[in-house]
Structure 1
Amino acid sequence: MYSVVGVISAFNFPCAVYGWNNALALVTGNSVLWKPAPSTPLTAIAVTKLVEGVLKANNLPGGLCSLVCGEGDVGQALVKDKRVNLVSFTGSTEVGRIVGQQVQQRFGKLLLELGGNNAIIVNDDADLNMVVPATVFAAVGTAGQRCTTTRRLLVHESIYDKVVERVKRAYAQFESRIGDPLESNTIIGPLHNEVAVMKYKAAVAEAIATGGKVEYGGKVLEREGNFVLPTIITGLPHDAAVIMRETFAPILYVIKVKDLDEAIKFNNEVSQGLSSSLFTNNIQNVFKWMGPKGSDCGIVNVNIPTSGAEIGGAFGGEKETGGGRESGSDSWKQYMRRSTCTINFSKELPLAQGIKFE
């Protein structure tokens, strides 16, 4: 129990992140102060009203789950307040670094779930009928605005051309299905705002300027709203600056590798370590991938995409992803204070090293 848990959530999952933090915080005896993304206050207000209703129906004060909306200054006030014993922050690595410094300055507790520069490795024995839909789903789902979005596709050189062509054909099916997320036919919605569109354009321009080839997409759609084409880029070295940097948009960089060892090396060379996936039918490759010399990510998948979260599994990553873990069988422990309690029921006081006093 920490008494007060502060939850700062991101725009892309305005309910889910709050939900799994809030539920565990309440179960372990805490109250919750929620600060949503500045662009999602209406969602947060609606959810808070629902939670308040449930609390009151069970004879509990609605204030157990409180809400504060605003810009970064509101978040800073929450983060710096010593009465907030645990801060759970979900967002960018850039902001997470600031949050981490401010909370640790006052020796508060932290749960950081930050960004990811996630890769799928396609080994030469992979089933391409599984690889293609997994890649497309993970790279373009939510318009590339998930921390677990696939941003790098590391493909064995013997099947590289075949994989690129198949993924391109799959992407082409979605151009007519970009639009309003409330429409049933829509697969890809808009980017979050104009700033996100500008970052998408800048990343594509940088990739082209440094030798990259746009295999598909690379354009902003000429219509109302922040819609862009999902994009595939080839021809860049694995350590190109634009590849090493997370861009929150549907841009997929396809990189050729000579073997699994090289692919693992490339997977691990980015600064973040959230999610990763290997497609192979060789069990020895699986053991290598999941072993101490394999992926350095918090999520290590085989033959499934990088995106998505199983509520029963710990969710989070290493390095600049922050090291925090949400969900999973033991995540509740993070919302409690650990104490060692000893009670002496005897009338004697045994001391260490046999020391005695009259």
Structure 2
Amino acid sequence: MNPLFNKIKTLEGLSTGQSFFKGNGREFQISSPVDGKSLGSVTACTKIEYDAIVNKALEAKLTWQNTTAPARGEIVRQYGQKLREHKNDLGELVSYEMGKSLQEGLGEVQEMIDICDFATGLSRQLYGLQMHSERPKHRMLEQWHPLGIVGIISAFNFPVAVWAWNTAIAWVCGNVCIWKPSEKTPFTAIACQYLFSEVLAENNLPEGISNLIMGDKEVGQMLAEDKRINLVSATGSVRMGKSVATTVAGRLGKSLLELGGNNAIIVTENADLQQAIPAIVFGAVGTCGQRCTSTRRLIIHKNIFEELKEQLVKAYSQLKIGNPLDTTNHVGPLIDKSAVDAYFNTIEEAQKQGGKVLCGNRQLKGENYTTDCYIEPTIIEASADMPILKTETFAPILYLIPYKTLDEAIRIQNNVPQGLSSAIFSLNLRETEQFLSVNGSDCGIANVNIGTSGAEIGGAFGGEKETGGGRESGSDAWKAYMRRQTCTINYGKELPLAQGIKFEI
């Protein structure tokens, strides 16, 4: 394994004092879906260990929130430089531990670098507003302060990038962070924490600015229940998100949720199919269909349905499936055997509901497939009324659905509980503008002539309905990590009251 992994494998117990990589709780054995080989084990933190980490964070908070925002930005800039230096090693580890292609693993680390750059600039742009007062010689303004401690629960499919979206912004806003990564991909998290601990040590800053806790949903529940955690940002399934949201709301805390996606692309008869096909295929099979923005449903105008269907089946036949560290392969494995079971169960249910499998539906065996996690991406011809279409399965299953009018296509797209990403392929201005209008896509992301996946960090990322309503990364998503304070300053000698109220004593 690469030098970065070899370094973190030598760490025992506490890393530089701030984070339990090996607690005294349940042990998790981690093996790669690529070849089945063991990466090692981690153990969950206990309640006592969890409280020790929170206390570390509380101590560090006082120093960090009183550090100027540009100075905090400089620390994040230095972390981005560390990531640049270790991009290849970390990208390879992401690919090997999670199973996505090496190109996607490197791209995920590049997302981390990009958000560090964005956050560094943001550290000088945490703007408030000034408003005119109705009272003479009064001034009104708003300012933003750190929340305190931000808890981050991340998922296996983007084991490092989504954490960075949250933590880079949270850091420059003056918060300290506690990260619970997926128990399926802990070693990439340890590597990220290790690199940031180097930055903290080099700048004589408290270790508790960034903290790592290991464990499953029980440890996540500790974060959700803890009144000392000012914001819980959770990425994962709808079921997990509902549990977190209910628990955090019960203590009147703040939560930021990025949950399931069930994303659709509408292809009109005015589409450029040569442009659409690569976007559809990557959206459906990238990360082996394990992105929250993966394309699940393809809604195709009836006049081009057969033509596009034929071209997609041909494109799928050319996919190379195998070891994701081999850059000639397009598709790697699913994360584990349970994901494979969900893949086959979903296809079986779709067939019961009238779906027709056009390609795929096969587990790959042989010397090139050293685990049971390699499957063929599948295309299913479907009808819009199939109940299975409303369910997200984290696997490369693409449903093809015909439509007659754009109004019908938009209704089909929106008729699911999730509302993350959406796209339309059309060269017709009226069609694309209708798709983007208030009567069009109901998703948090709406793209024209690009696919559903591959968001850039400059825009706010998130979705509506059961996707949770949260926004991360760019634009003004930073406001979720701060508290707003409205201030009124009276610089006159009189004390006039608002709304003309008279009160004399």
Same fold, TM-score > 0.5, yes or no: yes
- Which residue is 1:37 aligned to? 182
- Which residue is 2:421 aligned to? 275
Q: Pick one of 299, 319, 326 that aligns with 2:445.
A: 299
Q: Pick one of 348, 351, 354 that aligns with 1:211.
A: 354
- Which residue is 1:129 aligned to? 274
- Which residue is 1:253 aligned to? 399
- Which residue is 1:350 aligned to? 496
- Which residue is 2:135 aligned to? none
The CA deviation at 1:156 is: 0.3
The CA deviation at 1:62 is: 2.1
Q: Deviations over 1:312-351 (max 9, x none)?
A: 1111101000000111221111100011122333343223
- Which residue is 1:199 aligned to? 342
- Which residue is 1:69 aligned to? 214
- Which residue is 2:408 aligned to? 262
The CA deviation at 1:124 is: 0.6
The CA deviation at 1:237 is: 2.0
The 3-state SS of whatever aligns with 1:284 is: helix
Calculate the TM-score normalised by the size of structure 2. Answer: 0.69
The equivalences for 1:126-165 within 5 A come to: 126-165=271-310
The CA deviation at 1:261 is: 1.0
- Paired residue type of 1:86: L
Calculate the TM-score normalised by the size of structure 1. Answer: 0.97
What RMSD, in angstroms, separates the aligned Cα atoms of the two structures?
A: 1.0
- Paired residue type of 2:392: E
Q: Check the 8 A contact 1:142/1:189 in 2, yes or no.
A: yes
- Which residue is 1:232 aligned to? 379
Q: Which moved more, 1:106-115 or 1:337-346?
A: 337-346
- Paired residue type of 1:120: I
The CA deviation at 1:290 is: 0.4
- Which residue is 2:153 aligned to? 8
- Which residue is 1:190 aligned to? 333
Identity %: 55
* Alignment partners' CA distance in 1, 2:344 and 2:276: 27
The 3-state SS of whatever aligns with 1:134 is: helix
* Alignment partners' CA distance in 2, 1:357 and 1:81: 46
* Alignment partners' CA distance in 2, 1:159 and 1:332: 43
* Alignment partners' CA distance in 1, 2:207 and 2:423: 42
* Alignment partners' CA distance in 1, 2:497 and 2:421: 50
- Report the number of matched residues: 355
The 3-state SS of whatever aligns with 2:255 is: strand
Q: Deviations over 1:243-264 (max 9, x none)?
A: 1100000000000101211110
The CA deviation at 1:220 is: 1.4
User: Which runs of no fewer than 5 residues in structure 1 stay unpaired?
Assistant: none
* Alignment partners' CA distance in 1, 2:478 and 2:354: 48
Q: Which moved more, 1:208-217 or 1:244-253?
A: 208-217
The CA deviation at 1:209 is: 1.8
Q: Flag the structure with larger Rg.
A: 2
- Which residue is 2:250 aligned to? 105
- Paired residue type of 1:241: P
- Which residue is 2:202 aligned to? 57
Q: Check the 8 A contact 1:52/1:63 in 2, yes or no.
A: no
The 3-state SS of whatever aligns with 2:439 is: coil
Q: Pick one of 434, 458, 474 that aligns with 1:328.
A: 474
Q: Check the 8 A contact 1:123/1:259 in 2, yes or no.
A: no
- Paired residue type of 2:197: E
The CA deviation at 1:240 is: 1.0
- Paired residue type of 2:337: E
* Alignment partners' CA distance in 2, 1:307 and 1:145: 11
* Alignment partners' CA distance in 2, 1:139 and 1:12: 14
User: Which runs of no fewer than 5 residues in structure 2 stay unpaired?
Assistant: 1-145
- Paired residue type of 2:321: I
* Alignment partners' CA distance in 2, 1:250 and 1:308: 16
* Alignment partners' CA distance in 1, 2:491 and 2:460: 40
* Alignment partners' CA distance in 1, 2:260 and 2:213: 24
The CA deviation at 1:187 is: 1.0
- Which residue is 2:459 aligned to? 313
